[in-house]
Structure 1
Amino acid sequence: MGWVGRTAVVAGLGGAVTAGCLGLVTGALAPDVGVGRRTRPLGPQVVDIAAPREVVFDVIAQPYLGRSTRAMREKARVLERGDDMVLAEHFTPVAGGRLTAKTTETVRFTRPGRIDFRLVRGPVPAVIESFRLTEHASGSRLEYEGGLGTDGWALGERWGRLVAARWEETVAASLSAVKKEAERRSALP
């Protein structure tokens, strides 16, 4: 094989690696080989909210069980809806907003105190999460925790650290938005 052939092979491999990386980052490539599985915790994150837990629950459930605002439709889209569970796609900007990661998750609602998420498709093979709501002296407490699993031993574990950092940033922003909206609704006459 001459230099032209070698150059073509290297260019092809480079393109494949780039496509694979983009697929992982955006969730288009969903690796689940079940070998070398490692899990890591997500959270806990705790937020005290000056609103009754029923109001907080409704704020979280609204985009899934009720009508979604235009802003929320840019972040999530319900694919299937049941009485207490939905299948939804979630969209998260990554790479400085140049790319969008898409995950598909089931979301189960146990009124008034719990909402559970389970990853169906995304940049890692396994994520389970829960939002637990309890009554608190000043209103309610929202507790988030979960676990994220990756395959591929140490390499997968490194990938999991990157994904978990962005995942937890996204959750923190969501918790902040829930707090703001629940407190706004509670302050209404």
Structure 2
Amino acid sequence: MKWLGRLAIAVAAVGGVAAVYLGLVSGALPVDVGVGRRTRRLGPQTVDIAAPREVVFDVIAQPYLSRSTRAMREKVRVLERGSDMVLAAHFTPIAAGRLTATTVETVRFTRPQRVDFRLVRGPVPTVVESFQLDEHGAGTRLVYEGELGTDGWALGERWGHAVAARWEATVAASLSTIKAEAERRAARR
């Protein structure tokens, strides 16, 4: 009978570790203890877009400042809106679409040259990012840069590298979508 008790403890421990991992990955269990903080750079990622800067800015700002498409509502939900800043939840499919990571971020708009993001809740304690929009010839150069921070010294740093890889891939996909939509709008003008 002792083996049954040990098995129950082992199953509970594995279940607990799995629950913590899923909580971290999905953003449901944010951990911000401020001990052993490590930061790493995100980006830069640069995209040249054949569209005026104002058009690119409008494409980025639309899901936050005006009506968004049904597809965008599945990715972004504005929780609170101010004159130049919103609090928004972002939903990202993970684990081959079986789970959804939810991050909550403030998004600040400086028309037409900049959009700043600051993580409020997510898989790591801190992320600060920006989209810088500069006129580039007849089009726009969009530069993404940021910083991601984790707690827990070396273990947190390893977690940060895993999160950053997925984070930057998600940003790259967003930049590709922004480029396509801005160029489509510019061509219609």
1:1-189 equivalence runs, <5 A: 2-189=2-189
Q: Output one character per residue of 1:120-147: Cα deviation in whole Å (capped at 9) or x when no partner.
A: 0000000000000010113111000000
1:37 aligned partner, one-letter code:
R
Unaligned runs of 5+ in 2: none
**Greater alpha carbon shift after TM alignment, 60-69 vs 7-16:** 7-16
How many residues are paired up? Answer: 189
For residues 103 and 82 of structure 1, the distance between their equivalents in structure 2, rounded to whole angstroms, comes to: 19
Post-superposition offset of 1:77: 0.3
Q: Deviations over 1:157-184 (max 9, x none)?
A: 1110110000000000000100100011
State the Cα RMSD in Å.
0.9
Distance 2:169 2:97 in 1: 14
Q: Equivalents in 1 of 2:138, 2:147: separation in Å?
A: 29
- Would you say the 8 A contact 1:49–1:138 is kept in 2? no
Instruction: Give the unaligned 5+ runs of structure 1.
Output: none
Q: SS of the counterpart of 2:143?
A: strand
Runs of 4+ in 1 over 4 A off after TM superposition: none
Quote how far apart the aligned CAs of 1:98 are: 1.3
Distance 1:4 1:165 in 2: 41
Cα distance in 1, alignment partners of residues 141 and 11 from structure 2: 53
Separation (CA, whole Å) in 2 of partners of 1:7 and 1:153: 32
Normalising by structure 1, we get a TM-score of 0.98
Q: Secondary structure at the match of 2:64?
A: helix
User: Secondary structure at 2:96's aligned position in 1?
Assistant: helix
